[in-house]
Amino acid sequence: MKNKLAYRYRVVAYFTLLLLSVTLAFALIYTHRERVFKIELLKNEMVPYQRFIHSHLSKSLASGKGISESMREIESAIPQKIRVTILSEDSWVLYDNFSEYENITKSHLDRPELIDATSHGSGSAVRYSNTLKAQYLYHATKYPDIYIRTALEYNESVLPFVIRENRYMAIIIIVLLISVAAIIFMARRINKPVAALKEFMEAIQNGELESKEIIFPNDDLGDVGEKIMKAFTQMEENKKYKQELTHNVAHELKTPVTGIRGYLETMINQENMDPDQRRFFLERAYAQTLRLASIINDISILNKMEESPRAFHTEIVNIKRCVEEIKSDLSFKLDERGIKMEITIPEELQIKGSYMLIYSLFKNLTDNSLEHAGENVSIIIECSQVAGKDAFFRYSDNGKGVPDHQIEKIFERFYRVEKGRSRRSGGSGLGLSIVKNAVKMHNGEIKAENLPGGGLLFSFSLSNVVLPQSGA
């Protein structure tokens, strides 16, 4: 296994390298600035002497004196450190105070400072002097018939300046130390969520996620870490839920499939079966297919609500008309069991939502009463209150109710209060789960409780009430 450098050390290394790069960049910028400044300083020192020399030569040469004689007259007025060169119009040396110019026979036309002076009137260049064995700044100015060039020794190094400026060095060192300390502190802060994530992954690998508490720092990176942990936890919960759902679905489908298979096998094996008995078996098989279709439909609705909630079409739903339609659709079953349904909902109550889900909500509540409440009972559906955008409903029956210790579980998928009874009666075990999800998708909440006199009460809310338009 490769040895990996700890994340915080890598952060320190990266930022330190960045700091050094920035420091080097500033040093280079400073060096360039000092170079430019030094060149300008030396030029400003030489230019006045060039003007002085030109002024003197103009008068001296006019009186018939030569260049050498004229320059000797003012040699004492020019600092000895300044090299002065007088060149002809074609760049031949006429005078040089630093060399035996009489022996110089080469044209200086190719020198960069003279090239610039020819084009622009003046020019400068820093270069090494083979004559003086040192680096000089040359500045040349073009005058009528002659070039006057001056030079001063140029030391490009800024080290002497830095050494002289002890405060500058001290500031750099202090800034570097503070910056490194800040980088180390920042690296530790950055490393906290990374360390927490590492701990989280190790907990997953070791199967200790449920028993281990992982705390992320209260910052942006910590928020990211928490979201990653929550996303993973949700994925695991979804995975577990799907596994349980698959198991439950297989179990629920087994009963009607086994029944259908048994009835059909009996009819196939008994060719001379009595017509009435054959019809009975066909009716039983048909009833099982209806139950099978109901289970598949309920599973489809649940999956759609949890995975693709936006797929449900929204519209303006009149609640009372929707419930009245359910009463009409189930009238035969209601009459068969002697169940009365009382609806107390305002005619004008409308909600923006999914008609399909609202229909499923009230129908599954009614189906639950039909399957579990018993015979000769009453169902009351009422809108107890409308507050702002929320409508509050009460659905109750005076049937058998639910044992108190089971009341919190009735919204779970495939949960049955009486094991086996729902299967016999045709229920899928998903009705109340659909109810809860339908309420949730309409931004509401639902709870169930037993009534003191017997029976079961569902209290829930639905949001997005469409307020009636005021008349003009």
State pLDDT tens for residues 85-94. 999 988 888 8
- Say whether pLDDT at 236 is over 50: yes
Do 257 and 243 lie in one domain? The reply is yes
- Say whether pLDDT at 212 is over 70: no
Compare 384 and 199 and report the one with higher pLDDT. 384
Do 119 and 244 lie in one domain? The reply is no
Residue count (the chain): 472
pLDDT band at 327 (very low <50, low <70, confident <90, very high): very high
Do 35 and 145 lie in one domain? The reply is yes
Do 350 and 397 lie in one domain? The reply is yes
How many domains does one find in the chain? 3
Do 143 and 19 lie in one domain? The reply is yes
Secondary structure string (H, E, C) spanning 73-114: HHHHHCCCCCEEEEEECCCCEEEECCCCHHHCCCCCCCCHHH
Q: Is residue 58 part of a domain?
A: yes
Do 243 and 332 lie in one domain? The reply is no
- Say whether pLDDT at 404 is over 50: yes
pLDDT at 309: 67
pLDDT band at 277 (very low <50, low <70, confident <90, very high): confident
The residue from 291, 307, 323 where one domain ends is 307
CA 22-25-30 angle, to 5 degrees, is: 125
Q: Is residue 2 part of a domain?
A: no
The residue from 147, 162, 177 where one domain ends is 162
pLDDT band at 207 (very low <50, low <70, confident <90, very high): low
Do 150 and 228 lie in one domain? The reply is no
**Residue 137 is part of a domain; what is its CATH number?**
3.30.450.20
Which residues constitute the domain of residue 220? Answer: 216-307
Distance CA 175, CA 144 (A): 55
Compare 127 and 188 and report the one with higher pLDDT. 127
87 class by beta-carbon count within 10 Å (0-12 exposed, 13-18 middle, 19+ buried)? buried
Do 398 and 450 lie in one domain? The reply is yes
Non-local (6+) Cβ contacts of 395 within 8 A are 362, 365, 379, 380, 381, 457, 458, 460
Distance CA 291, CA 63 (A): 131
115 class by beta-carbon count within 10 Å (0-12 exposed, 13-18 middle, 19+ buried)? middle
Which of 86, 81, 100, 223 has its CA nearest to residue 154? 81
- Say whether pLDDT at 364 is over 70: yes
**Residue 302 is part of a domain; what is its CATH number?**
1.10.287.130
Do 48 and 143 lie in one domain? The reply is yes
pLDDT at 100: 59
pLDDT at 330: 92
- Say whether pLDDT at 469 is over 70: no
pLDDT at 231: 73
Compare 35 and 3 and report the one with higher pLDDT. 35
- Say whether pLDDT at 396 is over 50: yes
Do 144 and 119 lie in one domain? The reply is yes
Radius of gyration of the chain (CA): 49
- Mean pLDDT confidence for 434-443: 90
Q: Is residue 147 part of a domain?
A: yes
- Say whether pLDDT at 261 is over 80: yes
Q: Is residue 170 part of a domain?
A: no
The residue from 290, 307, 324 where one domain ends is 307
- Say whether pLDDT at 316 is over 50: yes
Q: Is residue 26 part of a domain?
A: yes
Do 384 and 398 lie in one domain? The reply is yes
Q: Is residue 19 part of a domain?
A: yes
Distance CA 97, CA 95 (A): 7
Q: Is residue 264 part of a domain?
A: yes
pLDDT at 175: 74
Do 245 and 341 lie in one domain? The reply is no
**Residue 344 is part of a domain; what is its CATH number?**
3.30.565.10
Give the torsion sign (CA, 88, 94, 98, 102).
positive
Distance CA 201, CA 275 (A): 67
- Say whether pLDDT at 199 is over 60: yes
Q: Is residue 186 part of a domain?
A: no
